[in-house]
Amino acid sequence: MPNSEPLATSSYDFDAWCEVLSANDIPMQIVCDNRETFHAELRTRNLGGINFFDIRADAHHAVRTPALLKSDDTRVYGITLQMEGTSSITQDGQTSTLHPGDFALYDSTREFERDFPESYRCLIVRFPHAMMQLPSHTLSSVTATRFGANDGVGVVVSPFLAEMANNLSELSGWAGVRVAHALIDLVSSALAEKLTDAQIASANPRAHAFVRVCEYIMQNLGDPTLSPDVIAHANFISTRQVHKIFHAERITVSQFIRDRRLEECRRQLADPADAHLTVGQIAAQWGIYDGAHFSRIFRNAYGMSPRDYRRSQFDTSAA
């Protein structure tokens, strides 16, 4: 099954824990007051490029330092769900304390800290930037923000995360991959809701307009006529304003549309349920009708042609 690896469970002392986190998650500087007695357990699962880490460990402190950022260019997001004990997370000037049922987002491309003052259990879901529907710069305003199990979309997301942690051994094959993708979509909804609430509270109309426009783009991604002019007309703003709000988020309109279309195409190319569709038909579903252009931009984004990518996923499935 493509990128659906068997469940693995292992136990570690402190030194081994530091090594396994650097090898399997992202390099962090870890400090522990009781190294001699430290114990950690880890269960992992990879579903369609989305990594799950179910962690039980003793107290420690972890930092993503500037030096580690320079030596490691991993570009992933992490969702951390507190399941037992408490912890804190700090990034982008924000610090939150997490209790069981709370979750938060972090971005591997910037410094952040995790503090675990007591033994704990948490689930970490790690996935590439490309899977998220909003750009990294936009999400920096909600990293390390606490999402409660009883707040907004968190009412759905938190128990979904917990059930996935408790049933990792049951998640496999394409059913597991689809559930993992559904989780990322749910998390995206929770983040968009939090962004909207924060923008309304801070009276930031530009940022609020950006989220609204992104939602419109996602709802009309398959429309080949989708353009800054069309987006502006549908959202009752000028084309100049559309370009301006995207520029403030350090991304262009065309880049955002292209990246989202490519990610949707990538998902379908890897899904056996769409094996009856040609590469061209999948691209056309997402508004891309030029086959040569699609092949070129897909290769630039993922390092291989659409056909080679599809073959690599299905070959793994047959193995």
What is the amino acid identity at position 287? G
Task: List, for residues 162-199, the tens digit of each pLDDT value.
Answer: 999 999 888 887 888 888 988 998 888 888 888 877 65
Which one of 65-79, 83-97, 122-136 scores highest in mean pLDDT? 83-97
Domains of the chain, with CATH numbers? 8-193 (2.60.120.10), 204-318 (1.10.10.60)
Range name among 38-42, 199-203, 229-233 with the lowest pLDDT average = 199-203
The pLDDT of residue 1: 42
d(CA 109, CA 202) in angstroms, rounded, equals 26
The average pLDDT across 209-236 equals 93
What is the amino acid identity at position 211? V
d(CA 43, CA 211) in angstroms, rounded, equals 35
Please report the sign of the dihedral spanned by the C-alpha atoms of residue 174, residue 179, residue 185, residue 188: negative
- Tell me: pLDDT of 101 over 90: yes
d(CA 234, CA 301) in angstroms, rounded, equals 29
- Tell me: pLDDT of 213 over 60: yes
d(CA 182, CA 60) in angstroms, rounded, equals 32
- Tell me: pLDDT of 130 over 60: yes
Range name among 4-13, 162-171, 295-304 with the lowest pLDDT average = 4-13
Categorise residue 250: left if φ over 0, alpha if ψ from -120 to 50, beta otherwise.
Answer: left
Question: Coil, strand, or helix at residue 100?
Answer: coil
- pLDDT above 90: percentage of residues in the chain: 61
The pLDDT of residue 8: 61
Report the residue count for the chain. 319
The answer to whether the beta carbons of residues 53 and 123 sit under 8 Å apart is: yes
Confidence band, pLDDT 50/70/90 cuts, at residue 201: very low
Task: List, for residues 27-83, the tens digit of each pLDDT value.
Answer: 889 999 999 999 999 998 888 889 999 999 999 999 999 998 888 888 899 999 999
